[in-house]
Structure 1
Amino acid sequence: MKYDYVFKLNAVELYRSGQWIETPEGISQKDFRKRIVQWSRIADIYGLDSLRHSTTCKERSAECRYQLVARVLAGESQKSVAISAGIDSGLLSKWVQTYKIKGYEGLNLKKGRKSKKEDKREQEIQTH
């Protein structure tokens, strides 16, 4: 569920004053409160404007993804690296797993579906 800037701002201000905003339907209270704490940390690091939705999609290069993955592999927590980069920790986790399986080339993510030709080529390679 996406929350607008005013909602996030209100939730963070209440949290900082020792109160909690009412948990919306469809999400557990525990998960929702974790999200508010994360919003608060992001706001502490990057300012309250960082709680706004980005108007453009941030396309990260393979090198940028690798730098974040390398920090995790060097021992930093995924959550702290994700917060510092302004991305979801689940996305970073996916990049780490992809890197472990496919290496650096796996971080060159392509958008969209594979072409049927690519699928056939991969199947031929696997059967030979």
Structure 2
Amino acid sequence: MRYSYEFKLMCVELYHSGSYPDIPEGLNPDTLKSYIRKWARLVDLHGPEVLKHKVFNRMWTPEEKLELVSKVIAGTPRTKVAIEAGISTGMLYQWVHKYKLQGYNGLVESKKGRPAKEPRMKKSKNQKIHYL
């Protein structure tokens, strides 16, 4: 579920005042409370603007990824590093896992998507289009 900026901000303000909002029906209260605690930590570190939905994906360089992975390997909790960097803990987990398996090369972006079934099926650059 995607929460609005206003809802997140209201939840954080209530959390800072010592209470939680009313839990909407159908949601797990423990899950929402953990989100609110995470949002509060983000707001404390980065300000309320961090709760807004982002319209772009940031491209991380391998050096930036290595810096964050090094902090985790050195013993800093993964959640703390992820919140400070403004990324999800799952993404950081993937980077650490790839680094442990492949080293620095695991942090370099690789080609995404399914490989072609047969090499001869690839489109050629000099393909002419014939219209009838």
Q: TM-score, normalised by structure 2?
A: 0.80
- Say which one has the larger Rg: 2
Following TM superposition, by how much is the alpha carbon of 1:26 offset from its aligned partner in structure 2, in angstroms? 4.9
Separation in 1 of the partners of 2:94 and 2:116?
A: 25
Question: Identity across aligned pairs (percent)?
Answer: 39
Partner of 1:99: 99
Deviates more, 1:108-117 or 1:40-49: 108-117
Partner of 2:125: none
Q: Give the paired residue count.
A: 117
Note the alpha carbon deviations across 1:91-115, whole angstroms, 9 max, x for none: 1111111111111111113363142
Q: TM-score, normalised by structure 1?
A: 0.83
Amino acid at match of 2:14: L
Q: Pick the structure with more helix per residue.
A: 1
User: What is the RMSD of the two structures over their aligned residues, measured on CA atoms?
Assistant: 1.6
**Aligned residue runs from structure 1 range 13-92, under 5 A:** 13-92=13-92
Structure 2 unmatched runs, 5+: 118-132
Alignment of 1:8 with 2:43, yes or no, is no
**Structure 1: 4+ residue segments shifted above 3 A:** 24-27
Amino acid at match of 2:95: W
Separation in 1 of the partners of 2:22 and 2:110?
A: 40
